[in-house]
Amino acid sequence: MRELEEASNEGHRSSDGEVTEPTEDAIPEAEPTSMHNNPNQDANSQAKLGATSGRKQTEREDNLAGAEKKSDNKITYEIRKKPTNSIVLENFNSHEAVNGNKDDKAPFDMVKSEATYLEWLELESRLFPVRYYREQHTKAQQKYNIVRVLGQGGFGLVLLVNVEKGGPLYAMKVMSKEKIKEKKMIKYIIGERRALSAVHHPLIMSLIDKLKDNSNVYIIMPFIECGDLFRLMLSTRLKRFSYEEAKFYVAQVLLAFEYLHKMRVVYRDLKPENLMLDRSGYVQLADLGFAKLLDANRERTYSTLGTPDYMAPEIFSAKNCGYSFSVDWWTTGCLLYEFMVGFPPFHTPDGNTMNVIKKIMTSEVQFPNFIKPDAKDLVSCLCQKNPHKRLGCQKTGAAAIREHPFFQDIDFVRVFHRQLPAPHKPTSKDDKTFYTGRPVPKNVIKISRTMRFNTMFKEF
């Protein structure tokens, strides 16, 4: 099993041994259900391009007066406007520095050097809470045409949609209110929606739109048509990336995590499947279902969750000690190793979760002979079992990782602006090498005639 989630009082063990208990911040994985004419389906927490073989993906209110299904493949949403949220922007000294940016986002073009990159991060850290906590409003009625079924994950269907025929394509997650209520997941779905609304980074997927109707809530995101890095890695001759390719992709993960940590967000679910490849050949960090905004006064969380092959040792003692951003740097080391070797450093042949955990807790990383010394050193520093000694966890944070010899020839400003040549770049904007869609079943989405759970989903 790829996913492991644990939480407080009401737990159950699935048939394959996976422990699933709802926690203060865990998002349990649902059993797969049929997509045909079932109104009670959640959607997978990100727009994955179909199901990933052998790897399960774990897994959020615009002001809508209602929704009416106009045809089998079209949904129309009636939108009711509300007053603007009353957050006082004057509390954030950086607000004026945005020079009238109505979106309250620090402009990417201010990043011209490492110094201005750090200034940009600081500015974003002041504006991020504004975007995270304010309500998002759709300005006008919007129609989405359902083009294809992209896939079905733990929470249900992900659909390929557009607004106009031949127009830009988007990925739409469809999540049943009833299912969310049954699993007591309402605040987690809202948390994911807030995070997607707030992130502003060239290497992290963000929200396009959010909708709700009588029966479902919907998240609309960019359609990343070239698949994830796991599929890309398997498509190579050696089923792994070269040294330079691994460096290129991990450099982007490093910048994405540096941003999230500056925003006080711990990600907790890094793996190749959550890195989507766009048309430029750069990655988009996807799936914020496990991401959590930490309290500024505590910056600790206590839930045991994640994908076992990538989980840091401190997560397994989280109920006693808790953990923080350190777990993301551990998974970065695991990811780099997997890119270069073809499988995670603590993977076991039998795939048994308990054996994987035991190996994480007791074994050191073993390297093949072909791994270069600087790559070996970086993985070892990131997969340091003591989080206080782990690279990236000291006062200098991510800067210490950027300065490691492994990245000595990487210009991170150019990475931020996506200016370095990509090793794998689709040949055309319509390249769907890693995308497998299915025709749309009749009545793929069912909508009740009456509004359900309106109060519960007020903040979506």
Apex 327 CA angle, 299 and 291, nearest 5: 65
- Long-range contacts, 246-251 (Cβ 8 Å, 24+): 246/336, 246/339, 246/340, 246/375, 247/406, 247/407, 247/410, 248/420, 248/422, 248/423, 249/275, 249/283, 249/339, 250/332, 250/335, 250/336, 250/339, 251/407, 251/410, 251/412, 251/415
Both tokens of 258, joined, read: 């540096």
Instruction: Write out the catalytic residue numbers.
Output: 269
Rounded distance, CA 347 to CA 344, Å?
5
- CA distance linking residue 210 with residue 193, whole number of Å: 8
Q: Which two tokens mark 57?
A: 């993906």
d(CA 61, CA 213): 9
- What stretch of H or E contains 78? strand 74-79
What amino acid is encoded at 118 in this protein? L
Q: Are 415 and 280 in contact (CB under 8 A)?
A: no
Residue 235: Cβ within 10 Å count: 12
Residues 6+ apart with CB under 8 A from 356: 308, 309, 346, 347, 348
* SS3 assignment, position 260: helix
Rg, the chain, Cα only: 21
Q: Which two tokens stand for residue 382?
A: 């990131």
Round to whole Å and give the CA distance between 459 and 135.
Answer: 8
Q: Compute how many other C-beta atoms are within 10 angstroms of the C-beta atom of residue 362.
A: 10
Report how far residue 108's alpha carbon sits from residue 135's, in angstroms, rounded to the nearest whole number. 24
Q: Report, in this order, helix, strand and coil percent for the chain, each rounded to 5.
A: 30, 15, 50
